[in-house]
Amino acid sequence: MKPDLAHLALYVDGSCLDNQNVNSETPAAWGLAIVTGDNGLGKGSGEVLEELWGFVVCNQDSEDFLGAEVGSNNTAELTGFAMALRWLLVEGGERDAIIYTDSQYAGNLATGEWKAKANKSLVGSVQNLWREVSLTRKIEWRHVRAHRGHRWNERADHLANRCVSNQLPIPLSFWKPGQR
């Protein structure tokens, strides 16, 4: 799919402050910026339609549990991807969509290009969501290089980092790319 101004662009990122020796108590979070009118180049085009963020849920009894066994950067990236897909199912109408992520891990696992060696239950949830969304619209994912000044990727990173630090995001009107 060629980016056009009619598609939805969903930028996802994950964050885990202490990404070593992770367990179910390790805090990890995801951020999602949903943008309209985006050309994919990150030079300021587009307008934010909605922003979402949250923690990776490892509690099997929670209604938000997607299968993550630990909080880690990878489970945060995958959870962000899942939340983008969930948003498309519930809120996204019928517009074509591109999910942008700086995690080739999340994108390739979501589409089944790579086989999961870890996080298998979470990956299964993400793949099921991908299949379900694919029935309603054209969807694809694209890799964006991290921390290279891409406005919307930086915004998703900001949302995830602020969440994992238990801080609200800086409002978009005051935020500058690269500001954590």
Cα three-residue angle 141-111-107, rounded to 5 degrees: 45
Q: Where is pLDDT greater, at 173 or 149?
A: 173
Percent of residues in the chain assigned helix, strand, coil, to nearest 5: 30, 20, 50
- Coil, strand, or helix at residue 33? strand
Residues 5-54: pLDDT tens digits? 678 999 999 999 888 889 899 999 999 999 998 876 666 678 899 999 99
Tell me if the pTM is above 0.85. Answer: yes
Q: Measured between alpha carbons, how far is residue 126 from residues 13, 86, 95, 176 in Å?
A: 15, 9, 20, 31
Indicate the range of 63-77, 79-93, 106-120, 162-176 predicted with least confidence.
162-176
Q: Please give the average per-residue pLDDT across 159-173, as a whole number.
A: 93
Q: What whole-number percentage of the chain has pLDDT above 90?
A: 74
What is the pLDDT at residue 38?
81
Residues 124-145: pLDDT tens digits? 999 999 999 999 999 999 999 8
CA atoms within 13 A on the CB side of 99: 33
**Domains of the chain and CATH, by start:** 8-164 (3.30.420.10)
Distance CA 79, CA 67 (A): 9
pLDDT band at 173 (very low <50, low <70, confident <90, very high): confident
